[in-house]
Structure formats: C-alpha cells, structure tokens
Amino acid sequence: MFMNLAGLISSAIRYIGRGDALPVNTQLDNHSAITLYLENAKCIHVMTIDDTPVIWSVICEYKRVDTRSISKSLLAVMNNYSPFFHFGQPALVNIDGNIELRATFSLLALKNEETMAAAINDYALVMENIFKIYNIN
C-alpha cells in the first residue's frame, strides 16, 4: 500500500503552525527518514519501515540511567492509551545502545493532517514527560 507519508507529515506540521520544525531547504520524500526539529535540540523521526509508518526519538544512552529506579514514573507515563498508535505504544526500546521511544501509527493517525498532527502532539507529550523523568533538558 503506497502512502504519501512525507506529504501527510508536512501538512500536519504546517496545520499546527510549526513549519519551522521541518528541515530547511530540503525536499521531503517517502524513502528516507523525516526529522522534525523541536526546541532544545530534540528531534522526532518518522519513516515508513516495511510498509509501516514509524515514529521514534533517541532518549539517551542505555547505560546513562538505571531504568529500574525510575520505572514507576515511566510506567505512569507509558500506560496512557492513545488511539493514534497501536496498543502498548509508544514504547521504550534499546536500539544500538540507546533508549528510543518508538511507535507505529494506527490507521486513525493516517486519516488526514488533523489526526496526524494530533498523533505527533500525543507522541511529543509522552517524549517530553520521559525526558523529564530521565532528567534530560
């Protein structure tokens, strides 16, 4: 199934008035990762992997924090259901020695620019809460 994820992401970001979060002087395409630049040098990446639209961010190095000591706080943040992602997502995963926040979009998120904007917003809120728990500025 072909989906113009790059077009949908661009439209969603402009819909919420954050065109500045998109890369400058770069043509977005559906064959490479799209990076959204947020405040404080935090980035959100979006890409289609094996026909599945995925959103992710690097939180920190895996060895940086003992996750067990903050697991209660993490669980409270991660346990909030969003209809824009598949059940149990976003989730924290260890990828190449980094803790990443990853999720796959539900069909609802892919419906139009408004629902995609809401999905990105939900994801960004979870990400910001996780940065606070990990005490990352």
pLDDT tens digit sequence for 98-132 = 999 999 999 999 999 999 999 999 999 999 999 99
Classify domain 5-133 by CATH number.
3.30.1460.10
Sign of CA dihedral 130, 46, 91, 13: positive
For residues 80 and 122, give the distance between their C-alpha atoms in angstroms, rounded to a whole number: 10
For residues 135 and 65, give the distance between their C-alpha atoms in angstroms, rounded to a whole number: 10
pLDDT of residue 123: 96
**Strand ranges for the chain from DSSP E:** 34-37, 43-49, 52-61, 91-95, 98-104
Minimum mean pLDDT among 63-77, 83-97, 107-121: which range? 63-77
pLDDT of residue 87: 93
Selected residue with higher pLDDT from 5 and 65 = 5
Question: Does residue 83 have a cis bond before it (omega within 30 degrees)?
Answer: no
How big is the CA angle at 11 (ends 41 and 52), to the nearest 5 degrees? 80
Domain borders along the chain are 5-133
Grade residue 25 by pLDDT with cuts at 50, 70 and 90. low
Q: List alpha helices for the chain, DSSP H.
A: 5-15, 71-78, 113-133
Q: Which residues contact 116 (CB under 8 A, 6 or more apart)?
A: 8, 9, 11, 12, 105, 109, 110
pLDDT of residue 18: 73
Residue 1 pLDDT > 60 = no
Q: How far is CA 71 from the centre of its chain?
A: 20
Minimum mean pLDDT among 51-55, 66-70, 97-101: which range? 66-70
- What percentage of the chain exceeds 90 in pLDDT? 55
pLDDT of residue 34: 85
Grade residue 31 by pLDDT with cuts at 50, 70 and 90. confident
The mean of the pLDDT values for the chain is 87
